């Protein structure tokens, strides 16, 4: 997948550096945590001095993953993280394509005195990196990490811990192999990971059958009380206010996957999850077929992402945000009127 030139540049970078810092994006998902931990174990086993850093806490249902307790969380351990960055060396951006995606860690990353490597599958990677492993056709960053390790001739170094981390990355970023899953290569990688000792059904249970009572009730409430369907726009939104989240003792990750549920309605082609945060409103878009939500989000909601999954922000109140979302979708009314057929 990647050229020898890039791989040998990476090899040189790794042999010449004394310090590696692995990072992933704000509000880390399974691909962020999985690709981070896979690289962490791999480089540590290679004898490198490596730190794994996340801007804020990952969801509790990833805490069972081997090495998860060794990840430094900037929000809680800013001093330790700053010390790691002061050492210089190489910083890796896993599963994100622009500096600002690390939220509160952005300045730290920008002022870093060392080399930058991006490993990611989002479109339009930002300039400023020394080395790119960017492929938008990969199911996940985890799949790219697998190909890098293999490309470096270290396939036999993929042990069970690395394989499990990579499997979590692929599984979560494909919605358990239900989207971004048309490339046979993804299954070759997955088959290999299972051969390395991944118990696929157990991993699925650990990630998905790990709800708190509050989380499941929040989901029920969201679907029955907070979902609006606009049949003429083939769209549905779920909106959750701060009060709603507090009522169900919201914890990070509690709304993960919720945005996909309205898409299970036959006529719905776009689903939007709108959640009220401290000083802004977060929007998460999902779509079916060829309707590209990343373009819409980039144009109107200060964000971006993949064709069928993108996220952005709104800086007005919830009622106004709902109105804005509806009027933006109205602009796409014609494009939204389609049916998935065999």
Minimum CB separation of residue 180 from Mn ion in Å reads: 9
Minimum CB separation of residue 141 from Mn ion in Å reads: 5
> Where on the phi/psi map is residue 67: left (φ > 0), alpha (ψ -120 to 50), or beta?
left
Q: Does 256 bind Mn ion (CB under 5 A)?
A: no
DSSP state of 296: H
Question: How many residues interact with Mn ion (rule CB under 5 A)?
Answer: 5
Among the candidate windows 89-97, 128-136, 185-193, 271-279, which touches Mn ion by CB under 5 A? Answer: 89-97
Minimum CB separation of residue 314 from Mn ion in Å reads: 23
Residues 153-182 that bind Mn ion (CB under 5 A): 173
Q: Which is nearer to Mn ion, 94 or 233 (CB)?
A: 94
Residues 195-224 that bind Mn ion (CB under 5 A): none
Minimum CB separation of residue 304 from Mn ion in Å reads: 13
252-255 long-range contacts (CB < 8 A, ≥24 apart) are: 252/27, 252/56, 252/57, 252/58, 252/59, 252/60, 253/58, 253/59, 253/60, 253/61, 254/59, 254/212, 254/214, 254/215, 254/218, 255/218, 255/222
Q: How many CB atoms lie within 10 A of CB 154?
A: 14
Q: Which residue in 17, 23, 28, 31 binds Mn ion (CB under 5 A)? A: 31
Q: Which residue in 20, 53, 58, 95 binds Mn ion (CB under 5 A)? A: 95
Q: Which is nearer to Mn ion, 259 or 336 (CB)?
A: 259
- At how many degrees (to 10) do helices 184-195 and 160-173 cross? 150
Q: Which residues bind Mn ion (CB under 5 A)?
A: 31, 95, 140-141, 173
């Amino acid at each position: 997948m990647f050229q020898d030139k890039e791989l040998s540049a990476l090899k040189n970078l790794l042999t010449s550096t004394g310090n590696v810092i692995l990072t992933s994006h704000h509000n880390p998902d399974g691909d962020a945590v999985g690709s981070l931990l896979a690289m962490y174990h791999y480089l540590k086993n290679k004898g490198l001095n490596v730190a794994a850093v996340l801007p804020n806490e990952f969801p509790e249902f990833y805490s069972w993953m081997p090495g998860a307790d060794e990840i430094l969380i900037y929000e809680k351990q800013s001093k330790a993280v700053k010390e790691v960055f002061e050492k210089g060396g190489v910083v890796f951006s896993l599963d994100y394509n622009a500096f600002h995606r690390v939220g509160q860690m952005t300045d730290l990353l920008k002022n870093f005195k060392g080399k930058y490597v991006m490993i990611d599958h989002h479109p339009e990677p930002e300039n400023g990196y020394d080395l790119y492993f960017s492929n938008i056709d990969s199911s996940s960053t985890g799949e790219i990490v697998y190909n890098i390790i293999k490309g470096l001739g270290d396939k036999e170094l993929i042990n069970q811990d690395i394989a499990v981390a990579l499997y979590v990355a692929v599984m979560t970023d494909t919605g358990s192999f239900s989207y971004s899953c048309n490339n046979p290569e993804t299954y070759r990688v997955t088959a290999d990971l299972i051969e390395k000792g991944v118990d696929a059904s157990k991993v699925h249970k650990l990630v998905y059958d790990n709800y708190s009572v509050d989380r499941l009730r929040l989901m029920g409430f969201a679907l029955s009380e907070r979902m609006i369907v606009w049949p003429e726009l083939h769209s549905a939104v779920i909106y959750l206010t701060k009060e709603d989240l507090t009522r169900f003792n919201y914890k990070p990750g509690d709304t993960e996957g919720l945005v996909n549920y309205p898409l299970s309605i036959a006529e719905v082609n776009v689903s939007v999850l709108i959640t009220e945060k401290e000083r802004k409103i977060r929007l998460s878009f999902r779509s079916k077929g060829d309707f590209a939500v990343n373009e819409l989000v980039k144009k109107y909601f200060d964000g971006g992402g993949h064709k069928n999954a993108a996220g952005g922000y709104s800086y007005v109140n919830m009622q106004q945000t709902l109105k804005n979302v509806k009027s933006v979708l109205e602009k796409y009314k014609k494009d939204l009127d389609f049916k998935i057929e065999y």
